[in-house]
C-alpha cells in the first residue's frame, strides 16, 4: 500500500512525458499567437533522462561529501572542524546557484559540469546538518554498551550509529535531492541540456506553452522522487528502535 502513491506519481509522470508531443490542441490556448506550441528541439524522454543524470551525479557526490563531513565532525578527533564544516555548508546554500554558474563557467566551460558543481554546493547543507544531528541524537548508553561488547569505533559507527541516525540522514538527503531537481533546470542557461530547456526557450520566445511543459514535468519528477523517499523513510523508522 505504501508504494501506491509513488507508483501513481511515476505513472502520471511517464504519461505526461509521452502525452506532451500529441497535445497540440491542449497547449494552443496557452500561446495562441505562437506558431509552435510543443517544444521539439529535443524529445522530452531524452530531457528527462539528462535531468535525472545531472541530479543523480550531483546527489551521489553531495551525499558522499555531506555524510563523510558529518561523520568526521562528530568524531573526537574531528570536532574542532565542526564550525568550519558548518560554515562551508551554509555558504554553499546561501550562495545563489546562478552566481555559482556565473563563476564556474569561465573555469569549467559551458555544459553539464558547472550545474553539477552548483547542485553539489547547494545541496550540501541539509545533508551535513542532518548527519550531524542524527549522529548526535544517538543514545550515548547504546554506544557505551557497544564498546562494552568489544566493538571497535569503526564497527560502532557502521553497525550502531549510522543505522540509528539513518532516518534523520535520509530526511536531509530527501530535502537536498528534491530541491536540486528544480534547481537543475538552471543548467539550461549554461548549455546543459535538461528539462530546463523548454522553460528557458519559453522565456526567450514569450511562449507560455513551453514554460508549462517544462515546469509540469519537473514538478511531477520532484513529487515522484519525494514520494519514493517518503516510503524509504517510513520503512527506516519502522526498523529503527
Question: pLDDT of the chain along its 241 residues, tens only?
Answer: 567 888 999 999 999 999 999 999 889 988 888 889 999 999 999 999 999 999 999 999 999 999 999 999 999 888 899 888 888 888 777 777 787 888 788 888 888 999 999 999 889 999 999 999 999 999 999 999 998 898 998 999 999 999 999 999 999 999 999 999 999 999 998 888 999 999 999 999 999 999 999 999 999 999 999 999 999 988 887 766 6
Q: Which of 185, 70, 89 is nearest to 131 (CA)?
A: 70
C-alpha separations of 200 from 66, 73, 105, 191 in Å: 31, 41, 18, 11
| Helices 44-73, 82-94: crossing angle, 10 deg rounding | 160
**Cα separation of 178 and 219, whole Å?**
10
145 conformational bin, left if phi > 0, alpha if psi -120 to 50, beta if neither: alpha
Provide the whole-model pTM. Answer: 0.91
* Structural domains in the chain plus CATH codes: 43-239 (1.10.3720.10)
Query: What number of helices (H) and strands (E) belong to the chain?
Result: 11, 0
How many C-beta atoms surround the C-beta of residue 214 within 10 A?
27
**Cα separation of 108 and 41, whole Å?**
25
> Which residue do the cell numbers 569503526 mark?
154
Amino acid at each position: 500500500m505504501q508504494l501506491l502513491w509513488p507508483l501513481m506519481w511515476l505513472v502520471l509522470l511517464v504519461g505526461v512525458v509521452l502525452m506532451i508531443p500529441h497535445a497540440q490542441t491542449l497547449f494552443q490556448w496557452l500561446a495562441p499567437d505562437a506558431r509552435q506550441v510543443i517544444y521539439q528541439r529535443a524529445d522530452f524522454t531524452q530531457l528527462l533522462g539528462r535531468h535525472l543524470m545531472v541530479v543523480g551525479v550531483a546527489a551521489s557526490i553531495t551525499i558522499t561529501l555531506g555524510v563523510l563531513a558529518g561523520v568526521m565532525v562528530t568524531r573526537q578527533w574531528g570536532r574542532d572542524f565542526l564550525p568550519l564544516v558548518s560554515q562551508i555548508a551554509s555558504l554553499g546554500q546561501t550562495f545563489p546557484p546562478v552566481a555559482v554558474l556565473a563563476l564556474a563557467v569561465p573555469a569549467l566551460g559551458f555544459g553539464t559540469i558547472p550545474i553539477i558543481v552548483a547542485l553539489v554546493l547547494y545541496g550540501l547543507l541539509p545533508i551535513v546538518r542532518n548527519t550531524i544531528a542524527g549522529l548526535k541524537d544517538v543514545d550515548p548508553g547504546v554506544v557505551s554498551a557497544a564498546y562494552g561488547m568489544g566493538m571497535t569505533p569503526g564497527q560502532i559507527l557502521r553497525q550502531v550509529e549510522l543505522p540509528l541516525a539513518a532516518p534523520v540522514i535520509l530526511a536531509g538527503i530527501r530535502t537536498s535531492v528534491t530541491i536540486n531537481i528544480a534547481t537543475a533546470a538552471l543548467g539550461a542557461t549554461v548549455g546543459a541540456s535538461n528539462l530546463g530547456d523548454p522553460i528557458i526557450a519559453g522565456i526567450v520566445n514569450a511562449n507560455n506553452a513551453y514554460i508549462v511543459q517544462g515546469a509540469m514535468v519537473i514538478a511531477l519528477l520532484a513529487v515522484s522522487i519525494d514520494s519514493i523517499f517518503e516510503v524509504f523513510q517510513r520503512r527506516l523508522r519502522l526498523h529503527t528502535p
